[in-house]
A and B are shown apart, each in its own frame.
Chain A
Amino acid sequence: MSDEYDNNKSYQAQSSEVLDGSAGSINPDIDYVRPAEIPEQDLYHAHSFIEKWVFCQDAKVIGVQYFLTAAFTGIIGLILSWLMRLQLGFPELAGFMTAEHYYQFVTMHGMIMVVYFLTALFLGGFGNYLIPLMVGARDMVFPYVNMLSFWMFFVAVMVLMASFFVPGGPTGAGWTLYPPQTILEGTPGSGTGILLMLISLSLFVIGFTMGGLNYMITILQARTRGMTLMRMPLTVWGIFTATVLAMLAFPALLVSAIMMTLDKVLQTSFFMPTILKAGEVLEYGGGSPILFQHLFWFFGHPEVYIVALPAFGIVSDLISVHARKNIFGYRMMVWAIVGIGGLSFFVWAHHMYVSGMNPWFGFFFATTTLIIAVPTAMKVYNWILTLWRGNIRINTVMLWCLGFIVTFVNGGITGIFLGNVSVDVPLSDTYFVIAHFHMVMGIAPLMVIMGAVYHWFPLVAGKMLNETLGKWHFWITFLGAYSIYFPMHYLGFIGVPRRYFEMYDSPYMTSAVGMNEFISIAAFIVGAAQFILVFNIIKTLKTGKKAEQNPWKANSLEWYTSTVPPEHGNFGDRLPVVHRWPYDFSVPGAKEDFIPQTTAPSEVAHTEVEKT
């Protein structure tokens, strides 16, 4: 609490419990925690360099491996977006690029960013690193399977990258891979490119399933003593719910990938209707392209929340730590995460309003889509109420969090436009859609990733990232991202269609050209600004200031390991025992402004803590 405010009784939460230790009469039972149920985990320690850093079974190393591999694909995706913007803003400079190239870049940029970058980074990267530390486990429950998960992902990435080098290049069908055009001649990469994409996606799903089982069982069955579900940091809740979604949504992707592979290789007609090509009837007939769209979006919409929910969770923790205040409405936040996760399985066809499905479907899916706005808005209010009267530290991490809230609200509001059928139909396939989803699931989660990197880097590497460089990184990215996506809303309103290589002689050729140039310049700058982080990391690893243990004065268990960075087994000889939630910041009556999760109630007598 800042000093200006009198800590008045009337502001205190109703569920708080006064630990009244009057004259040594503390009941000894208040420190009681149930004895251990699960035996010590049998850990296999690495014996060689390869076992320690390559085929490693330690979840923390696997997390870093996932992070680096995903970041590598992210940089590829970034370069592809530069090439796209070069063509759109300055076509005269992009003479080397044909329309086929452009479609391939669009497709690969989309698929890489959504699946191989964001999903892998949040669940594989942050999930592996943080879950065992935050719930107080020594490692993931199946370390060997966890290792296989990463290497399966690695192979999937390699197969995907290989598609750049095969004859015909990668697929250029758009990241949604809609049949029939995806596998028909004339679409770029309809030969080997699409096949490699489908194989890569299948491998990704298999690899993810192995990881996902680990995340779920570690959270459900391997928490430390005293760690109840409602004492877990929201990061863990976000990653957990996202994993559940992924385990139930990726099957649809796997099935559609298998069916499309068969359509491609064995000439089956699952998704292929009767097709006339240059007056000739092709071999295909009788299949349903809409079936693919249903399968794809049954995966595709939960996928949005697979990316968003970990971001929601992580940002809640970052805001709470850096505003020195407990998260407002913790239980509400948990139920909102779970509720959004549940609802996300009933909204998929809002991606298909213009596909020609029954209009009553559109009515149903518009309703469910708008219902999702309720728990989402609850979360936004809670973030803001957490900040309210907090002791806010305006550091790099907090800047990214604030940037996230603003961007997420912005993208969320355009989502309400697009969720309504009658508004969506004219806006379909325009730049408005691009602006919407880049704001809400591109920039917003990315801001959280950046904040999380600045927050947890001291834990992972034991050194503090440079704040000045961090602030430059933030401001360029934040202002730049708005310069890119804000104008795109207007491009959408005047009707500029997306995925077009050029505007030919349409009216957009003249009216949108200035805006396109501006967006492209902003995109080059924002992209380049991301290398500030790369530079910052390299510089910090070489010459950075050594981080003390728990530099942010946080409460959650990952900061209370026996060493920093934590070694294999995380917590030394004894696992921590948890007595409280991780959000006891600025507790009235406490000596310091934070009470770690491991502090027993009798040690903080006369304080007023939330009952968790």
Chain B
Amino acid sequence: MSEQKIDGFELKPGFKGMASDTGSDQTMFKGVHWGKAMMWIFLLSDTFVFSCFLISYMKGRGSTIVDWPNTSEVFSLHVGGVPVPLLLIAIMTFVLITSSGTMALAVKYGYEKNRKMCGWLIFATAIGGLTFVGMQVFEWSKLIHEGVRPWGNPFGAAQFGSFFFMITGFHGFHVSIGVIFLFIYTYKVFAGHYESKKRGWFTKMKGDYVEIEILGLYWHFVDLVWVFIFAFFYLW
């Protein structure tokens, strides 16, 4: 590993470098913005939330007395009378992963102070997130229409609906929160709040383009969680 520089900090490579950072005064993660460190730790905590959900799901699915519904049938879409498994989910996953890409580009343009590009890319990310939530609403209403309920369903074990609605709902809630913040940040970027150092509405703190990266961390996390949910619900 070569010597790296973050905002003027000489970082020594390898384990020795980590030990010297840990043993030093003032900061443990040299040059890392407070908000960014906070988001990483929040995401660690949130990882435990989703892990608890998914482990409960594994336990619940593994110990039901009634058979689990056949997911490739339940989740299939009928295109021209032919059931296509995983079609909707594939599109949803594609949209969400793409929005992660636009988010990463927004961070890049933000740091380059390219305000217009950054704003449009955050906006695109928000639209991607909104599309995802919209498709999730479509999927939920389709399943509800077919008789799937949190307390039971015609296809098999009652826990299928319980876990599905709870976990995808919790994930969808995360996406929705992210979308709200994406729209707020779109506004802030286009209005130039980060250039004029305008103080925030609630926190009264000055903003910076690093906030885009912090929101980006959250957004990538939500994507990553979706990959696990995708694997556990749709492929298992």
Contacts and interface: CB of A to CB of B under 8 A. Distances in A.
Interface of A: 33-34, 36-38, 42, 44, 141-142, 144, 209, 212-213, 216-217, 220-231, 247-248, 250-252, 254-256, 258-259, 262, 266-270, 283, 285-288, 291, 295, 298, 578
B60 A288 contact: yes
B203 interface: yes
Contacts of A268: 150-151, 158-159, 161-162, 166
A220 B26 CA distance: 8
Given A259-B166, A270-B162, A286-B66, A209 B151 contact: no
A221 B162 contact: no
Contact of A287 (B22, B35, B45, B60): B60
B32 interface: yes
Please indicate which of the listed interface residues B26, B53, B151, B204 has the most CB atoms of chain A within 10 Å of its own CB: B26
Interface stretch (B36-44, B83-91, B127-135): B36-44
B232 interface: no
Contact of A227 (B25, B44, B46, B59): B25
A259 B49 CA distance: 12
11 contacts: A36-B26, A42-B206, A221-B27, A221-B29, A226-B25, A259-B166, A268-B158, A270-B162, A285-B65, A286-B63, A287-B159
Nearest to B205: A42
Interface in B1-41: 9, 22-32, 34-35, 37-38, 41
B49 A254 contact: yes
A227 B26 CA distance: 6
Interface of B: 9, 22-32, 34-35, 37-38, 41-42, 44-46, 48-49, 51-53, 56, 59-60, 63-66, 150-151, 157-159, 161-163, 166, 170, 202-206
Given A220-B28, A286-B64, A287-B60, A144 B48 contact: no
B192 to A, nearest CB: 19
Contacts of A217: 34, 37-38, 41
Contact of A144 (B22, B38, B166, B202): B202
B25 A228 contact: yes
B113 to A, nearest CB: 20
Contacts of B44: 247-248
A141 B9 CA distance: 21
Contacts of B31: 37
A291 B60 CA distance: 8
Contacts of A283: 151
B6 to A, nearest CB: 11
Nearest to A285: B158
B162 A213 contact: no
Contacts of B150: 262, 266-268
Given A228-B23, A258-B166, A248 B52 contact: no
Given A144-B202, A251-B48, A270-B60, A223 B158 contact: no
B162 A38 contact: no
Nearest to A283: B151
Contacts of A227: 25-26
Contact of B45 (A141, A209, A228, A229): A209
A250 B41 CA distance: 14
Given A144-B202, A222-B34, A288 B63 contact: yes
A337 B158 CA distance: 44
B24 A34 contact: yes
Given A44-B204, A255-B56, A269 B159 contact: yes
B60 A247 contact: no
A221 B51 CA distance: 28
A221 B34 contact: yes
A209 B158 contact: no
A499 to B, nearest CB: 27
Nearest to B48: A251
Given A221-B32, A224-B26, A268-B151, A144 B205 contact: yes
B205 A44 contact: yes
A266 B166 CA distance: 11
Contact of A295 (B56, B158, B166): B56
B162 A269 contact: yes
The 9 closest A-B pairs by CB, nearest first: A251-B48, A268-B162, A255-B52, A144-B203, A251-B49, A267-B151, A247-B45, A44-B204, A266-B150
A220 B162 contact: no
A227 B157 CA distance: 57
Contacts of B53: 255
Contacts of A209: 42, 45
A270 B56 contact: yes
B177 to A, nearest CB: 12
Given A248-B45, A259-B56, A268-B166, 14 more contacts: A34-B25, A42-B205, A44-B205, A212-B45, A217-B41, A228-B25, A251-B49, A258-B166, A258-B170, A267-B151, A268-B158, A269-B159, A286-B63, A291-B59
Nearest to A254: B49
A601 to B, nearest CB: 15
A91 B203 CA distance: 55
Contacts of B30: 37
A223 B45 contact: no
A58 to B, nearest CB: 13
Given A259-B56, A286-B66, A291-B60, A228 B41 contact: no
A493 B61 CA distance: 42
B22 A229 contact: yes
Given A42-B205, A285-B158, A37 B56 contact: no
Contacts of B202: 144
B32 A266 contact: no
B156 to A, nearest CB: 11
Nearest to B27: A221
A249 B32 CA distance: 26
Nearest to A252: B52
